[in-house]
Amino acid sequence: MKKIVLLILALFCLKGVPALADEGMWVPALIQSRIKDMKAKGFKLTAEDIYSINRSSLKDAVLLFGSGCTGEVISDEGLFLTNHHCGYYFIGSHSSVEHDYLTNGFWAMNRSEELPNPGLTVSFLIRMEDVTDRALKGVGDEMPQAERDSMVKANAADVIAKATAGTHYEAAVEPFYYGNQYFLFVYEKFRDVRLVAAPPSAIGKFGGDTDNWMWPRHTGDFSMFRIYADKNNNPADYSKDNVPYRPRRSFTISTAGLKEGDFTMVYGNPGRTMQYVVSDAIDYAVNRGNPAKIKMRTMRLEIMNAEQAKDPATRIAYAAKNARVSNQWKKWQGESKGLARLGTLDKKRAFEAQFTAWAADKPLYRDVLPKLRALYAELAPYAFARDYYQEAYQAIEMTQFAQNAAKGIFKPDAEKAGDGFFKNYSQTIDRLSTQAVLGEYVKNVPAEWTPAYFLEAVQKAGGVDRYVDELFEQSNFSTIEKYKALASADSATKAAALQNDPALLLAEAFNTFYNTKVDGTYKRLNTEINTLYRLYMKGLMEMQPDRTFFPDANLTLRVAYGTVEGYSPVDAVYYEPFSTIDGIMEKDNPDIYDYNIPQRLRDLYRTKEYGRWNVDGSVPVCFLATNHTTGGNSGSPVLNGRGQLVGINFDRTWESTMSDYEFDVVKCRNIIVDIRYVLFVIDRIGNAGYLLDEMRFAK
């Protein structure tokens, strides 16, 4: 197949709408195409400074944290920053009532106090390469999709094998533009990552769900870790003999601050965007999928919040779970509202009418949209069943634990499986939540999309609530005492119990139904849809030859750039782009838990003992910019025009959550914690100023 040359230059937008330069998530290896515009906005460096394989560049200080966040190296001894909410699980894993690091914060005062985090990895991009020709070798336009996929997979495996031969690197070949282009990514992954510092949640999570996705914001959303390597500076499993990693590059920190209109750049790993989907996808999200998911998560959050407020142990146990549930819950609400405000659905339909007219005399493209619409109509009931499977059945903690524990129940150390689960478990929360979400399932999902076993069990029990009560009363997996009794029983007793345990029977019913009736068809239809999108994208580019396209996010390294700007969320209201410590105190409200302020911060505010972080009698906290971001950009470094670290990206405004589908430069803003507030908290709240000694500051 002839290679499609796709210079990453500008966003596809609807006819009649001007292209907006702040839009886009640009491929670092192709950033030269954007340098002229970046320099016009205030960038002072070169494309080679952003991405290079011949010398160290800014990319070498950016890392993938785990499998869904970004981080930035800030010292030559492996110290790095990411968001507090990215590190939240690991902070919580070290917390207890006696050592409540979530509430009180954690500050390692020397390296021996840094805490290991089993399972946590960080990955650095070594290089990326356009391998479209190699990935599509032997692939023909008329080839059946299954055959095409098989050949691309084999070609990619060959590319990966050759790229990693003789190294400890890992690699992946990722599709861009629905498979019109392919890139190779080669990574170095480190496995010994230790917690160094985390502020109290009243700082790192200040504002909580109340302020999530909102502006003005006053959240010190950061945590600090250190990478360790073996004596040769190579990745290694945790060992006391490991030493701090010596990075290829670390960021210089600027404490000079920014002003409105100044250049900013986000360098990170955005997770997923869907800029080019057709109106049918938007219609389902706004009118069916999002409302259902929002309602079920609302129920769960109300139950969690009520129970967490009753005692500290439950609050700690469910802190990370609550955060995970509420994050998407609020995003879906803002997304639906934003898409409605922009009229995205109507604009998509209008553009599709233009595409249909353009494609009328082009056999290759004229049937693309009708086929897509037919597939989306066929997909809808499967997508609806999938949404309820994920948001209702998979929300039941006990059944998820039961499935995992049952796999190892015959092992000698089976009892240990319960320790981690029940440490952070409330049967009350799980039971009440299960009653709520399964009640929604029965109410809204047709019987033909529901496991027969579940419907019969509910009918026999006399309703969902009574069925759930019996489920928790009778299962061997509902309390640690019952689980340990099962784990210590003889093999015959275990086997009999597993065959009749109601949690396992429910799990088997839902999983079997989903895997046989929903998942296969859902995936097949999406594969067919993506096949058509590959052709649709090709048609869009032919229809708009003067307009080229940035690729949707796929958790690979990207550059987004823009400027510091405020915005107007509604008529007659304008938000300034900066917040300060004064705003924290203005939010002080004993009736709102999310606005709890640590006493140490109150004292510093009262005495104004801000030290070197004093700016006009206050301390900067957060700021806004017009960078195009999404999930995965959490923890990303935010850089000034000289490539110096000025903040950490952590959120978007609520008005921006629809930007995964459509970016609006007038409304869309990313939210950044100012690096000066991060340093102020480390220095004045954590009394860990020694950490600043290994950082490099701009003069």
Query: Which candidate in 85, 218, 501, 628 is catalytic?
Result: 85
Residue 433 annotated to the active site: no
Query: Which candidate in 57, 250, 433, 634 is catalytic?
Result: 634
Can you tell me the distance from the alpha carbon of 510 to that of 516, in angstroms, rounded to the nearest whole number?
10
Tokens of 563: 């400027």
Q: SS3 string of 6-73?
A: CCCCCCCCCCCCCCCCCCCCECHHHHHHHHHHHHHHCCCCCHHHHCCCCCCCHHHHEEEECCCEEEEE
Can you tell me the distance from the alpha carbon of 487 to that of 418, in angstroms, rounded to the nearest whole number?
9
Tokens of 175: 């599709």
* Per-residue burial over 88-124, b = 16 or more CB atoms within 10 Å of its CB, e = otherwise: bbbbbbebeeeebbbbebbbbeeeeebbbbeebbbbb
Can you tell me the distance from the alpha carbon of 18 to that of 24, in angstroms, rounded to the nearest whole number?
14
Mapped onto helix, strand or coil, the DSSP state of residue 156 is helix
Can you tell me the distance from the alpha carbon of 557 to that of 85, in angstroms, rounded to the nearest whole number?
20
Q: Which residues contact 133 (CB under 8 A, 6 or more apart)?
A: 3
Look up residue 609 and give its amino acid: E
Tokens of 305: 């919040």
* C-alpha 218: how far from chain center: 21
Tokens of 544: 């708009």
> Of 285, 86, 109, which Cα lies nearest the Cα of 193?
86
CA dihedral angle for residue 376, residue 380, residue 386, residue 392, rounded to 10 degrees:
150
Query: Which candidate in 130, 221, 501, 683 is catalytic?
Result: 221
Residue 218 annotated to the active site: no
The alpha-carbon radius of gyration of the chain (Å, integer) is: 26
For the annotated catalytic residues, the residue numbers are: 85, 221, 634
